[in-house]
Amino acid sequence: FRFNASFLPCLGYGNLSPSTAVGRIFCIVFALFGIPLNLVLLNEIGQLMLLGVQHCACRLEEVFCWQNKASFLMKTCALVTGLLLFLLLPPLLFSDKEGWSYEEGFYYSFITLSTIGFGDYVIGMNPDRTYPSWYKNVISLWILFGMAWLALIIKFCINLLE
């Protein structure tokens, strides 16, 4: 079981693939269990994030006697905080570490968190740059929590449309 490239935090970029028949079969079997487990994990993380927002809204309602305003305020804060943490600030890091423009970093952020992953931009692959040891680990956590946040936003939009 041999890979064509080093490990990256997110599959789907086309630069990481098994090259043997046994490796491909293993990936198929692993994906049959791994994809549903990943969806369960993302859903649980998203629910924990939502629970935190709801807890804060309840506390605001109790302290300031705001009934409907607290819930709206907390949802707005969660949306704005998520936008900052997962879509607006990471491109600044990518501009610094990868040498990309802000627009390229924003594009990478959305394409990665939405699990599209075209592979036209991949972090930590420029041989002319040196990357800090923490870089890929932090990006892995960003992807995990960012995917959960984006799933919550998509779920919220679906609920609004229904």
Domain boundaries, the chain: 21-161
As given in the structure block, the two tokens for residue 93 are 């890091």
pLDDT category of residue 58 using cuts at 50, 70 and 90: confident
pLDDT of residue 98: 97
SS3 at position 142? helix
Q: What is the pLDDT of residue 93?
A: 97
Classify domain 21-161 at the CATH topology level.
Helix Hairpins (1.10.287)
Q: How far apart are CA 13 and CA 154, in angstroms?
A: 22
pLDDT digits (tens, 9 = 90+) for 73-108: 777 888 888 899 999 999 999 999 999 999 999 999
Query: Exposed, middle or buried by CB within 10 Å (0-12, 13-18, 19+), for 68?
Result: exposed
Confidence of residue 134 (pLDDT cuts 50, 70, 90): very high
Give the rounded distance of the alpha carbon of 15 from its chain centre: 19
Residue 161, judged by CB atoms within 10 A of its CB (0-12, 13-18, 19+), counts as exposed
Higher-confidence position of 130 and 43: 130
